[in-house]
Structure 1
Amino acid sequence: MERTLRTEVLVIGGGPVGLALATELGTRGIRTLLVERNLRHARQPRAKTTNVRSMEHMRRWGLAGRIRAASPLPPDYPTDIIFKTRLFGREITTIRNAFYGAPGANDLYSEHAQWIPQYTVEGVLRDHAATLPDVTLRFGLVLESLDQSTEGVTAELADTETGERLRVHADYAVGADGSRSTVRGALGIRMQGSHAFAQNINLVIRAPALREVFAEGRSIMYWLVNPESAAIAGPMDTGDTWYFGFPIPKDAPAPTEPELQALMAAAFGRDVSPEILTIDTWAAHSLLADRYRAGRVFLAGDACHLHPPFGGYGMNLGIADGVDLGWKIAARLRGWGGEALLDSYEAERRPVHARVIEEAVANYAVLAPDLLRDGLEEEGARGTEARAEAAALILEHKPREFRTLGVVLGSHYSGSPVVVPDGSAPPAAQVSDYLPSAHPGCLAPHLWLADGRSLYDLFGPGFTLLVTDPAAEAAADPLRRAATRLGIPLTVASPGDARLPALYEAPLALVRPDQYVAWRGSRIPDPEALLRTVCGLATNIQETGVQESRANEFLEERT
């Protein structure tokens, strides 16, 4: 017997991307059905860092505290990367505070990064999504077919255990079903780029003897540089569980368990008799889908972009996809977003994906075997010199992998069809360094306010008009009235912080639901035209008279 369900959005894939999308939609009151083919989530760690931007989304959803509490490492655990010859060998150098995971207030962001395995993040998101009245989670359902018309999407699914069939009618569907996406195949969308250009193996092991390592210096990751077994290892908790990863030649057969034990003994510098809990063989790709949308069906996460997991981008990039797509679909369904808003998903996210792929490939180009130097483990002057040479090479090439704030917070949507240009140039691309900018399309610059609140805590679930200069508060009223007429959710925030005018370089800034700047200026000649543009309801802002150059605005202010 076939059952039929009706929902507004069908999300296919129950990993962190699908769960983030379902959370964003459910928080906005959109009826969402998430289906996942697996009954249980994999226990491979995969991603291990939830970066500062993803943690800011967790803060919006009220989950930042839960994520930190769920981490198997204590809050004071250092997020350092230690480079050694072997785990019980000689230290070469250390990169401190990787991914900005150290606790403490920083004006650049509202939440520091958190070391936490991907499957634990999924657990927190899954438990929270299950509490949202408008979200339904169904596991053990596999997609068999997907059809669409101008009216909606119809999906045929089957229960993997009982064979029961389910037909789902939805307004929109999203494939968040990973690198081998069934949705992508059903849409006839192809991945373009380099397929499987390298192979790697990840293990999760249990080894009580490795506790001794903590006495020499705690770290979330150890790079082990030696000629027999160059590898990466790190703790999954403060107990006995560790991960261990290493590259293997392309198309080489998988090592046997005795060979794996020998590789670990060589990398650790002693035989610790580890118990192998899981083995995960994966290939490094550099791929982008040729399109992210087909009618009412979208792709997100690994379903539309793949890159080597070096730099901590993968899961976090997919979570950001879910946020961008989530608020836009919600706006369209509730009548205050147009088709141009949905089209902007690919226009905004694709350049970010391309940039991250470029970074990840550059990081993958320098692995532990590439850091080898003759004499690295020797005593005396020769060994000291070899380790100093390796340390210099590490500090030249590897910080860009672990100090990524310029990419994580600095990637922007300048040029998007739903962002209003102001005549200024977008900030130059950075990797490690991040200079906040309120250039339209950039992430809204952050501050910690005098009362201890994050500036972002003042932003509403819809658009926010940030008044940086109290003298400009009167200009907010026409925009507020226009938003009411159009049914667009708008919050007006006027913190009265004297640092904001210089930080935003304008007395007014219109901030989107995802905390990116859509427009800034000193006056709003046509509030309704502005709102129609940033919501994808208008296409030619020049004709509306809304666009002004920042130079003219500041000339007026100074006059």
Structure 2
Amino acid sequence: MDCEVVIVGGGPVGLFLAAELGQRGISVEVFDAKPGTSTHPAANANSARTMEHFRRIGISAAVRSLGLPCDYAPDVAYFTSIAGHELARLNQPSSQAAVEWAKAHAFTWATPEPPHRCSQLYVEPVLLEAARRHANCRVHFSSKVLDFTQNAEGVTATVEMDAMVDRAAQTRTVTARYLIGCDGPRSFVRKSLGLSYAGVAGEKREFMGGQMDAVYFYAPDIYRVCPHAPAWQYWTFGAKQRALVIAVDGEGHFIMNVQTREGESLDEADVTQRIAEAIGADIPFEVKSSSRWTAGFALVAEKFSVGRVFLAGDSAHLFTPTGGLGYNTGIEDAANLAWKLEAMVKGVAGDALGASYEAERRPAALRNTSFARGFADSIGNVHLPAVAHEAGASGDAARAAVGDYLKFHATAEFVIPGVHLGTRYETSPLLVAEAGAATPDTANLYVPCARPGHRAPHVWLADGSSLYDRFGPGFTLLCIAEADVDIESHGAVRNAAAMLPGLTVVRVAEAAVADLYQAAFVLIRPDQHVAWRGSVLGDEFVAAVLRTLGHRPGETALLPTQACPSAA
């Protein structure tokens, strides 16, 4: 084998997966047809869950330092035009204040890593550096996968390497144990597997439903002509058009999304006019690049894997970007898949582990596309009355009424800890669901829950540190109750450590942790989801270890162990 995993696509999902696999000692080669990382802004919001995963691989601080200036509040604001009337605003903490803000708001944002507003433009180079930090991880740009085949032993890909204008490309054959398609909505990998998307396509709305143009431009004078505080997102409701203008660096670079009307095709003069209308003032600006995309999709692939080939990110699901869920769902795909690939490569996985990826992540994709679709309906179908563009008392009243709704909507779309932190895998084949009802899965409320399948609840410990920083990079056995028990030398734990890659035993005897986890022992997966919890390290724990690795009952057995007494 040339490597253990081939990744097709070097966008944020592919690079994150490569970085995590590299950290786990898995050899990886990434191939992307682009000449390098993105040069056009996209994916401008990193969810709390994405930032938690970045924390796990050691890059969250670097990412949080990028994007807007550290004291720039990434507010979401709504206007008739940027230089015109402000209709509503959702205030958000600056990056330098975000973590302390999250500590103060731990009752809603129970995370060490609150959301961070930063474009993929800046995140991708950090991910690339994180991947290349590992000698076993090689990333190739200007390299296109032309074909691949698979059998019971592995995957063989044909790659056109270093395809440059000034020289002929070279063709290379690469063999690996597994191949992952992270190659976007037009995925060559998905199409080669004969898989299709299913769901809602081409949904029409007044905005965020149809053909969209994304224009990257430089206009520092916006901050001079806007009579209101700076924002991260400027949603404009003009008399002739609607637009979403996003501040990329807080120093004059913006990305504007406008929806083209039926049968319309924007030329350079049209784009210039659209930008001027959104700003609402005559100022100079420089168009740097543009791209075209389509809103109105809520699509999920019919399958997420075939044999040794898996799909992640946009190749597996396609979102309308309201709520910023597409890229962030892809990062969660990669986090879910990485530890499973490690177990499969290292030979400790049972037959069910590979299939569990689809069983866990496809329902999560359906959940998140549904949330995104609801957000798009909420903002995309809003109509401003004509009087809202007029001066005087009638115009003021109309703008105030619209503003009331937009304040409600802004909270509904952007204050979504439940979406970020509430993904759960209660129906996973890797666990036994607990009796009783789970906590509600709602967008705007996250209720911490340590039931198997849920994200392990976060706690700020008494010394001010994060419980997450006590977890190991592999599996973690969290021992909560105080007990005079030599956990590491217990038979069940020794045998578990032989199977679970990188098992770390962590003792935390704090009331806040005990109250949340409601168990003496908790087995936590590398992606920070609970695999099992209980009061005794006995047969049930042994069975949970095997099940978590995809072993069916009777398929594999650990050495006999004596039960550990209750630590309560």
Residues 421, 213 of structure 1: alpha-carbon distance in 2 compared, 3 angstrom cutoff: farther
Q: Whole-Å Cα distance in 2 between the matches of residues 433 and 298 of structure 1?
A: 32
Counterpart among 535, 552, 568 of residue 522 in structure 1: 535
Corresponding residue for residue 275 of structure 1 = 286
3-state SS in 1 of match to 2:177: strand
Residues 87, 373 of structure 1: alpha-carbon distance in 2 compared, 3 angstrom cutoff: same
3-state SS in 2 of match to 1:137: strand
Paired residues for 1:341-380 under 5 Å: 341-367=353-379, 370-380=382-392
Is the 1:440–1:519 Cα contact (8 Å) retained in structure 2? yes
Counterpart among 457, 463, 484 of residue 445 in structure 1: 457
Letter in 2 for 1:157: V
Paired residues for 1:537-556 under 5 Å: 537-539=551-553
Counterpart among 469, 493, 502 of residue 481 in structure 2: 469
RMSD after superposition: 2.3
Letter in 2 for 1:153: V
3-state SS in 2 of match to 1:208: coil
CA-to-aligned-CA distance 1:234-265 (integer Å, 9 cap, x gap): 32123221111112235x23212222222222
Given the alignment of the two structures, is residue 335 of structure 1 paired with residue 337 of structure 2, yes or no? Answer: no
Is the 2:481–2:567 Cα contact (8 Å) retained in structure 1? no
Is the 1:231–1:368 Cα contact (8 Å) retained in structure 2? no
Listed as ranges, the gaps of 5+ residues in structure 1 are 545-555
3-state SS in 2 of match to 1:470: coil
Corresponding residue for residue 109 of structure 1 = 111
Q: Whole-Å Cα distance in 1 between the matches of residues 427 and 554 of structure 2?
A: 13
Corresponding residue for residue 125 of structure 2 = 123
Q: Whole-Å Cα distance in 2 between the matches of residues 272 and 241 of structure 1?
A: 14
Corresponding residue for residue 562 of structure 2 = none
Given the alignment of the two structures, is residue 96 of structure 1 paired with residue 98 of structure 2, yes or no? Answer: no
Corresponding residue for residue 549 of structure 1 = none
Percent of aligned pairs with the same amino acid: 35
Letter in 2 for 1:138: H
Given the alignment of the two structures, is residue 80 of structure 1 paired with residue 75 of structure 2, yes or no? Answer: yes
1:79 to partner: Cα distance:
1.9
3-state SS in 2 of match to 1:276: strand
Q: Whole-Å Cα distance in 1 between the matches of residues 131 and 499 of structure 2?
A: 30
Letter in 1 for 2:368: V
Listed as ranges, the gaps of 5+ residues in structure 2 are 204-209, 559-565
Given the alignment of the two structures, is residue 181 of structure 1 paired with residue 177 of structure 2, yes or no? Answer: no
CA-to-aligned-CA distance 1:532-552 (integer Å, 9 cap, x gap): 0111122589x99xxxxxxxx
Residues 367, 213 of structure 1: alpha-carbon distance in 2 compared, 3 angstrom cutoff: farther
Q: Whole-Å Cα distance in 2 between the matches of residues 259 and 164 of structure 1?
A: 42
Q: Whole-Å Cα distance in 1 between the matches of residues 227 and 51 of structure 2?
A: 30
3-state SS in 1 of match to 2:551: coil
Letter in 1 for 2:171: R
Q: Whole-Å Cα distance in 2 between the matches of residues 76 and 421 of structure 1?
A: 45
Residues 98, 199 of structure 1: alpha-carbon distance in 2 compared, 3 angstrom cutoff: farther
Q: Whole-Å Cα distance in 1 between the matches of residues 403 and 294 of structure 2?
A: 28
Is the 2:6–2:28 Cα contact (8 Å) retained in structure 1? yes
Q: Compute the TM-score of the two structures, normalised by the length of structure 1.
A: 0.92
Is the 1:79–1:102 Cα contact (8 Å) retained in structure 2? no
Residues 392, 473 of structure 1: alpha-carbon distance in 2 compared, 3 angstrom cutoff: farther
Is the 2:521–2:537 Cα contact (8 Å) retained in structure 1? no
Q: Whole-Å Cα distance in 1 between the matches of residues 133 and 42 of structure 2?
A: 26
**Deviation larger for 329-338 or 409-418:** 329-338
Q: Whole-Å Cα distance in 2 between the matches of residues 287 and 405 of structure 1?
A: 23
Counterpart among 458, 462, 470 of residue 470 in structure 2: 458
Given the alignment of the two structures, is residue 421 of structure 1 paired with residue 433 of structure 2, yes or no? Answer: yes
Paired residues for 1:222-371 under 5 Å: 222-250=234-262, 252-284=263-295, 285-367=297-379, 370-371=382-383
Counterpart among 201, 206, 209 of residue 195 in structure 1: 201
Residues 539, 177 of structure 1: alpha-carbon distance in 2 compared, 3 angstrom cutoff: farther
Corresponding residue for residue 552 of structure 1 = none
3-state SS in 1 of match to 2:385: coil
Residues 114, 472 of structure 1: alpha-carbon distance in 2 compared, 3 angstrom cutoff: farther
Q: Compute the TM-score of the two structures, normalised by the length of structure 2.
A: 0.90
Given the alignment of the two structures, is residue 169 of structure 1 paired with residue 175 of structure 2, yes or no? Answer: yes
Q: Whole-Å Cα distance in 2 between the matches of residues 215 and 135 of structure 1?
A: 49
Given the alignment of the two structures, is residue 34 of structure 1 paired with residue 30 of structure 2, yes or no? Answer: yes
Letter in 1 for 2:469: D
User: Aligned pairs, how many?
Assistant: 540
Q: Whole-Å Cα distance in 2 between the matches of residues 316 and 281 of structure 1?
A: 21
